[in-house]
Structure 1
Amino acid sequence: MIGINYGRIANNLPSPEKVVNLLKSQGINGIKIYDTDNNVLTALANSGIKVIVTLPNELLSSAASDQSFADNWIQSNITKYFPATQIEAIAVGNEVFVDPMNTTTYLVSAMKNIHSSLVKYNVDKSIKISSPIALSALANSYPPSSGSFKPDLIEPVIKPMLDLLRQTSSYLMVNAYPFFAYAANADEISLDYALFRENAGNVDSGNGLRYNSLFDAQIDAVFSAMSAVGFDGVKVMVTETGWPSAGDENEVGASQSNAAAYNGGLVKRVLTGNGTPLKPGDPLNVYLFALFNENQKPGPTSERNYGLFYPNEGKVYDVPFVTGEARTTPINGNRAQVPVAHEGQTWCVSNEKAAKEKLQAALDYACGEGGADCRPIQPGATCYNPESLEAHASYAFNSYYQKNARRLGTCYFGGAAHVVTQPPRT
């Protein structure tokens, strides 16, 4: 699923009520906020929009040292609004390992106490806990198969945190920004690779998997790092990722066209339903950063230009938020989201350049969770021949594509498929 971060470090933003209407008009049904603001959580009540809230870093020491503080915080900031406001997770802190206030030592205890409070008030089955980490928590991220956490974090915080996430069936929250990696290494990293555009990709020498996007490589580096410390089964949610539409002269790649390409490509990538090359069966859940340009954020120009919308609710650039692209079209006098389909007769076929592993993973998804009708390509059935991975994948991809009304973004499968205007040969 695609959600969005609703940051509010600005003095010119629309009211929370207007923001809820904006989210609905764009088909966005998940947001993340950096606090538990009363006005925001009240506005979200009965909206159908799921929300991740945050216990700020400055409260970690109190939550870690005092169970009654955690209980009171849950009562005042969670159960007060839930379930009318669909709080689905609590981010306990944010990028704590790089917090200048050195709050890392409090993190796991705070998470445990907050979870104990959720249990106490009988909402632990509905509300998960986690804590977003920055990619700087990794000592190594390239190639993805060699991903590893910084040694000084592993025993004191990474292992106990992952253990808690596993025990509570939660997921690791990760903030991943290919923009930073590209801006720092533009002479070595292809812009197409960073922006989900067509590219030759890179083969990971450690596992033989081909990567066609820097985003996928970064997420798989996290999976590899978790596996290296014995937590292979913990899932990942990407709680922040984005690309700035403007930046300072030294911020290579910060531009409106690149931001549109990154976020648009990412949405299409997520909506295929595929996971990463290392975890193809785990659909991606991603929260874009951010809803608005925030004029009071400190730092370089880029920090104030991650928004997909201006404070006046106009789009900084066009990005699809629902399956394929969407446009707001009057229906019976109301504004409603209508997914845009490819025009004319089109079909979805496998990409002959895709690695066999990617094709197989995409085929498995289409015939499984994707709900494509794959009975005709079973042994002995009408479309079993030609008996090749490419032919079977094309059949499954096209079944999925037609089932989804040929909407944009439903023929991608992580680059394993593409649209054609001539009927495929059978």
Structure 2
Amino acid sequence: MKIQGMELLKISLLVPILCIFSFADGGSIGVNYGRIANNLPSAAKVVELMKSQGIDRVKMYDTDPAVLKALSGSAIKVVVNLPNEQLANAAKRPSFANAWVFRNVVAYYPSTAIEAIAIGNEVFVDTHNTTRFLIPAMKNIHQALAKYKLDDTVKVSSPVALSALQNSYPSSAGSFRSDLIEPVFKPMLEFLRQTGSSLMVNIYPFFAYESNAGVISLDYALFRENPGVVDAGNGLRYFSLFDAQIDAVFAAMSALKYNDVKITVTETGWPSKGDSNEAGASIENAAGYNGNLVRRILTGGGTPLRPHEDLTVYLFALFNENEKFGPTSERNFGLFYPNEKKVYNIPFTAEGLKRYRDSSPKHSPATGGKQRVSPGTSNGQTWCVASAQAGKDKLQAALDYACGEGGADCHPIQPGSTCFDPNTLQAHASFAFNSYYQKKGRIIGTCYFGGAAYIVSQQPIREMRIPHRILKKRKAGYRRWWTGPDRTGQGRSMG
């Protein structure tokens, strides 16, 4: 096909890109400080440990005075908890809520930087049937905060388990349990909207993988390079189970018309040890999940469904807890041993990410030593493309980095060069991103750019208009260029 003396030239795209790219507007990492153990260090030592690791957020499961005092002056932001067993009193008696807030928040604030109160924990699965007290308790605690003029600075929410969803797969079909919508979720989401609070959610890809190890790719669960999974409902491609689970919650909220409410992931983690029937529980996989999650969060960017929404995520947990009941994994979610040594080496800060690499194997014993790959791969080849949803500012910043400090080969997209057309920000960014990704060996995390890029497993293609005189000078065959991803993340042909 000829177009005004120009022909369609098929050009191969074999350019590279990669690096740990960090934006200032990335998400935030915190830790859960569980204490169901008899061998943990003192609260003062724990605070020093967190400070030494650059951990600046912590979530508690109570309001222990020793811990709150130890956190005083540390600048570590704190989430405290009103336990499930106190929900009934807080719901029925405003005087109880006032006294609780005064004793556990006002008495320490602002020296102890309390930023939120978690009302209960996974109340819907509480065997003591405390669900009916949740909303009244949240409102009474908020009113008590207002009494002390803290309602704008100390937020109120409640951590929910993923079991609160009636449907979670595919993500686009996410919906809340029908029995909870009217009595709980609608009033809770309205409360969160009015108070500017986020929905607290506990998300554990480990449990989904453990129960479906024959179906779910381990690399998909651990944020490693994988061909991704396309959501048949919305066409979006997911490269991590974590993102898919979060988007299921976002979809459930959207179905109730609460698209504007944010999410805070109050618990997520991976055990370093488990029983023989707990597939995937190992030090290598725990390091891979948590290390790659930290990189995923701190480099910014949201989920496929909400690409511009950075997340605050609390890792579970700070220590292994030797007095917890249940399978072996329950006692081995810790990032540190009680002697304060790391169970495995991962960073918690953007600075630490500069030196971090996920060096664990690309498979686990649970897969028989074989890496499962979903259908649709191209002999293991992958490419990095720009996200159309990233926005001009983020794409431009990422492009500047790739072509500058990142060292991508951007000469072909300069004016007058063979790859300058199509002259669009997305096309140029995709070229630069992929150049950097390939150059760095397609290592996990090198095609992210703060949420401005993602990996595809089929070579992206696009026809380019090239002057006929150039065609005369070139006798070799060419392949087609990409347009950038379509909604399936696979790219689309222009011819």
The two structures have a TM-score, normalised by structure 2, of 0.73
Structure 1 counterpart of 2:126, from 99, 124, 128:
99
Paired residue for 1:392?
Answer: 429
Residues in 1 aligned to 2:433 and 2:226: alpha-carbon distance in whole angstroms: 24
Deviations 1:350-404 (A, max 9, x none): x973566xx2234646358989689x99xxx9799442424225658999xxxxx
CA spacing shift, 1:365–1:112, aligned 2, 3 Å: farther
1:13 aligns with 2:40: yes
Change (3 A) 1:38 1:394: farther
Distance 1:176 1:264 in 2: 16
Determine the structure 1 residue equivalent to 2:3: none
* Shift in alpha-carbon separation, 1:272–1:398, aligned structure 2, 3 A: farther
Structure 1 residues 111, 314: CA separation in 2 closer, same or farther (over 3 Å shift)?
same
1:307 and 2:337 aligned: no
Distance in 2 between the 1:95 and 1:412 partners?
A: 32
Question: Which residue in 1 is equivalent to 2:383?
Answer: 353
Deviation at 1:232, TM superposition (A): 1.3
Q: Partner residue of 1:272?
A: 299
| Amino acid of the structure 2 residue aligned with 1:44 | L
For the Cα contact (< 8 Å) 2:390–2:452, is it kept in 1? no
Give the counterpart letter for 1:304 in structure 2: R
Matches of 1:368 and 1:89, distance apart in 2: 35
Task: Give the aligned partner of residue 219 of structure 1.
Answer: 246
Give the letter aligned to residue 102 of structure 2. Q
1:289 maps to a residue whose letter is F
Q: State the AA in 2 paired with 1:207.
A: N
TM-aligned CA distance change 1:365 to 1:205, over 3 Å = farther
Q: Does residue 68 of structure 2 align to residue 41 of structure 1? A: yes
Pairwise CA distance, 1:231:
1.1
Tell me how far apart the structure 1 counterparts of residues 242 and 218 of structure 2 sit (CA, whole Å): 12
In the TM superposition, what is the alpha-carbon distance from 1:284 to its structure 2 partner?
Answer: 1.4
Partner of 2:448: 412
- Shift of the 369–311 alpha-carbon distance from structure 1 to 2, 3 Å rule, reads farther
Structure 1 residues 397 and 57: CA distance shift in structure 2, 3 A: farther
Write the letter of the residue equivalent to 2:394.
Answer: A
Cα distance in 2 between the residues matched to 1:16 and 1:373: 42
* Structure 1 residue corresponding to 2:346, chosen from 312, 315, 319: 319
Question: How do residues 200-215 of structure 1 correspond to structure 2 at under 5 angstroms?
Answer: 200-215=227-242
Per the alignment, in what secondary structure is the counterpart of residue 290 of structure 2? helix
Q: Match of 1:194?
A: 221
DSSP 3-state at the match of 1:244 = coil
Distance 1:19 1:412 in 2: 33
Residue of 269, 291, 299 corresponding to 1:242 = 269
- How big is the shift at 1:181? 0.4
Rg: which structure is higher? 2
Residue 316 of structure 2 aligns to which amino acid in structure 1?
Answer: F
SS of alignment partner, residue 325 of structure 1: helix
Q: Is the 8 A contact 2:383 2:434 kept in 1?
A: no
Give the letter aligned to residue 84 of structure 1: S
Show the counterpart of 1:284.
311
Partner of 2:441: none
Task: Report sequence identity in percent.
Answer: 60
- Structure 1, unaligned runs of 5 or more: 327-338, 343-350, 400-407, 419-426
Partner of 1:330: none
Amino acid at match of 2:348: F
Alignment correspondent of 1:172: 199
SS at structure 2 position matched to 1:360: coil
C-alpha spacing 1:390/1:309, structure 2 compared with 1 (3 Å):
farther
How many equivalent residue pairs? 386
Secondary structure of 2:389's aligned partner: helix
The equivalent residue for 2:482 is: none
Task: Label 1:394 to 1:310 Cα distance change in 2 as closer, same or farther (>3 A).
Answer: farther
CA distance in 1, matches of 2:275, 2:195: 43
SS at 2:388 equivalent: helix
Q: TM-score, normalised by structure 1?
A: 0.84
Distance in structure 1 (CA, Å) of the matches to 2:399 and 2:138: 37
Listed one character per residue, the Cα deviations across residues 197-217 of structure 1 (whole Å, up to 9, x for unaligned) are 110111111111000000000
Query: Which SS does the other structure have where 1:13 is aligned?
Result: coil
Q: Where does residue 177 of structure 2 map in the other structure?
A: 150
Query: Counterpart of 1:317 in 2: which secondary structure?
Result: coil
Matched AA of 2:177? K
Cα distance in 2 between the residues matched to 1:257 and 1:391: 37
Q: CA deviation at 1:319?
A: 1.0
Cα distance in structure 1, aligned partners of 2:71 and 2:429: 45
The one-letter code sitting in structure 2 at the alignment partner of 1:416 is: A
Pair 1:340–1:107, CA change in 2 (3 A): same
Match of 2:355 in 1: 340
Question: What is the alpha-carbon distance in structure 1 between the residues aligned to residue 431 and residue 325 of structure 2?
Answer: 49
Structure 2 match to 1:23: 50
**Kindly tell me: are residues 371 and 313 of structure 1, through their superposed partners in 2, closer, same or farther at Cα, counting changes over 3 Å?**
farther
Displacement of 1:271 in angstroms is 1.4
Contact 2:238/2:304 (<8 A) preserved = yes
Q: What's 1:81 paired with?
A: 108
